Amino acid sequence: PREGAPSRLRLAAELEPLAVAPWLQRAQPDAGWSGDLKIAGRVDIRRAERFDADVVLERTAGDLRVVRGNLPLAFGFTGLRFALAAHDGRWETTQAVVGTQIGVIAGSQTVRTEPSLAWPAPQAPVEGVVEMRIPDVDVWSAWLPAGWRLGGTLFTTAQVSGTAAAPQFGGRVEGSRLELGNLLQGVDLSGGSLLVTLRGDEVRLDHLRFRGGDGSLAIDGSARLGAQPAADLSIVADRFDALTRVDRRVSVSGRATVGLRAQSLTVDGKFAVDRGRIDISQSEAPSLDADVVVENRPLAPGQRPAAPAAAREPSPLLKNSRVALEIALGDDLRLKGRGIDTGLTGTLRVSTPEGRLAINGLVRTVGGRYRAYGQNLVIERGLIRFSGEVAAPRLDILAVRPDLDVRVGVTVQGSASDPRVRLYSEPDMSELDKLSWLVTGRASEGLGRADTAILQQAALALLAGEGGGPSTGLLQRLGLDELSVSQSGEGDARDTVVTIGKQLSDRLYVGYERGVNATAGSWQLIYRVARRFTVRAQTGDDSAFDVIWTWRWN
């Protein structure tokens, strides 16, 4: 061009129909993209004394599908168009996305600038509108992590103003019949409603409500966008089912406030467990510890392996956090599994000293039982102390056999990650006698060969850190507390005796025993009046009524 004359440009191009699914498959190989959706377009740009442009990208034919669960889900596209037109300093963009499943997204925005500029000036005024109607947001679940699902309808209308460098939005977002769930994680929110108001940099969460079981969860608050974003939220739960897994169900009530800044987090609140049932019978799937790092390729020269999670420096957000959350366990929280069946009560306090999660407090067992070595032990003392570290509370547990004149049982001490199980008796006796009283209900003197074998199995289980035995599951299925085989008599008169029994309460026991060679068996009813005073009634070949007073000395 001549010196001083404006530069000139002319670009004209056409995009032939292009299949979209193969490109999405490369970007998300595990999402299951498929379909025959094709888009085409054209570009026409001219620049001389003024700038003119026409750019269009639109659907020509076909649809797009994505795998949801085991079934392909179609978007149902009937329209797809993006256009830009710039003439005489007026830049206008339009968007239109229409689908039977994804709903309607439409918008139009206009920017006014100098006709000679190839791009709008930062201070150029902007005006426009954007609308979105989604009849079923479940179609967007494909972009969520595996197992999560969405549901409900969304409607959004927003006005655009401000400048090209700093556009402003005003409008509202409304949602109804919203759902959010994950079966494996125990999340099941339904009946949700949403109302968000936009005013420039201010975002107001007028309300977000969800149903969880018979309860509700409400979240309100506001946020500020821009150079220094901030958000303040209020959370209120009323008998809300926070967990709904088959093995873990927890309902909570309470309230909390959350303050979020660019480099800080504040959480203040109190919650109480209204009702909870936690079953730990089934152990979790095997997983690697947090300090195990798997590398698929060798480290580059000079590169160091990643530090364990516990040793990593917390992020600035967590380092500047202040969390003061109190959780009361209430009086209807029950833990069951791996031999334990007990209520839990107490209060825990959650905090973040130096940016690391910490829990402090004391949890007590209530009315608990512990099934070990074929016996249904009563938990007389069950204390779990949290002193900061989340994964290593201190244990102080005493479980005793309730139907004996002597006190025998087990104690569990130490940390949850490294518990120490010991036999217990009062008065103190040898380890063999403790185990004999615990397993067979009598002293070790005069035990038969079958009882000795049972003791050996129990000793091996104790050394291995196990609380039960092969027969524990069978006893539970039969509804029994005792199933034993012993020898009676001497010489030719020896007989094998099978005994079964059920502890009806802490004081009342009913049992039946019969010899293999006997013509009839005998029933026993034992009632423990006091610690050393027992009444026993027996009927069968020999009927008897005994009053037993036990006096023990060293």
pLDDT tens for 322-337 read 999 999 999 999 988 8
pLDDT tens for 335-365 read 888 778 899 999 999 998 888 889 999 999 9
Q: What 3-state DSSP class applies to 230?
A: strand
- DSSP string spanning 263-329? TEEEEEEEEEEEEEEEE-SSPPPP---TT----SSPPPTTPPPPPPGGGSPPPHHHHT-EEEEEEE-
Q: Residue 318: what pLDDT?
A: 74
The reply to whether omega before 427 is within 30° of 0 (cis) is yes
- Asked if residues 147 and 184 have their Cβ atoms less than 8 Å apart, the reply is yes
Neighbours of 449 (CB within 10 A): 9
- Asked if residues 294 and 288 have their Cβ atoms less than 8 Å apart, the reply is yes
- Asked if residues 542 and 518 have their Cβ atoms less than 8 Å apart, the reply is no
For the chain, the average pLDDT equals: 82
- In this prediction, residues 305-311 reach a mean pLDDT of 54
**Structure-model confidence comparison of residues 457 and 26, the more confident one:** 26
Percentage of the chain beyond pLDDT 90 is 39
For 524, which DSSP code? E
- DSSP string spanning 536-553? EEEESSS-EEEEEE----
Q: Residue 179: what pLDDT?
A: 94
Q: Residue 282: what pLDDT?
A: 59
Entry field: residues in the chain = 554
Question: Range with the lowest mean pLDDT among 259-268, 348-357, 502-511?
Answer: 502-511
- Asked if residues 62 and 36 have their Cβ atoms less than 8 Å apart, the reply is yes
pLDDT tens for 103-122 read 899 999 999 999 988 889 99
User: Phi and psi (nearest 5°) for 532?
Assistant: -115, 10
Indicate the domain borders of the chain.
1-200, 480-554
- Asked if residues 550 and 535 have their Cβ atoms less than 8 Å apart, the reply is no
Confidence at 251, pLDDT banded by 50, 70, 90 = very high
Confidence at 80, pLDDT banded by 50, 70, 90 = very high
**Structure-model confidence comparison of residues 284 and 207, the more confident one:** 207
**What is the helix (H) or strand (E) element at residue 218, kind and residue range?**
strand 215-224
298 pLDDT exceeds 70? Answer: no
Query: Which residues does residue 425 pair with via DSSP β-bridges, in sequence order?
Result: 408
Whole-model pTM: value is: 0.69
Neighbours of 400 (CB within 10 A): 22
Q: At what angle do helices 449-463 and 431-440 cross, to 10 degrees?
A: 110
pLDDT tens for 433-476 read 787 787 777 776 655 555 555 555 555 454 444 444 444 444 55
Rounded CA gap, 176 and 137, in Å? 11
Neighbours of 303 (CB within 10 A): 9
Q: Residue 333: what pLDDT?
A: 93
Q: Residue 452: what pLDDT?
A: 55
Q: What 3-state DSSP class applies to 465?
A: coil
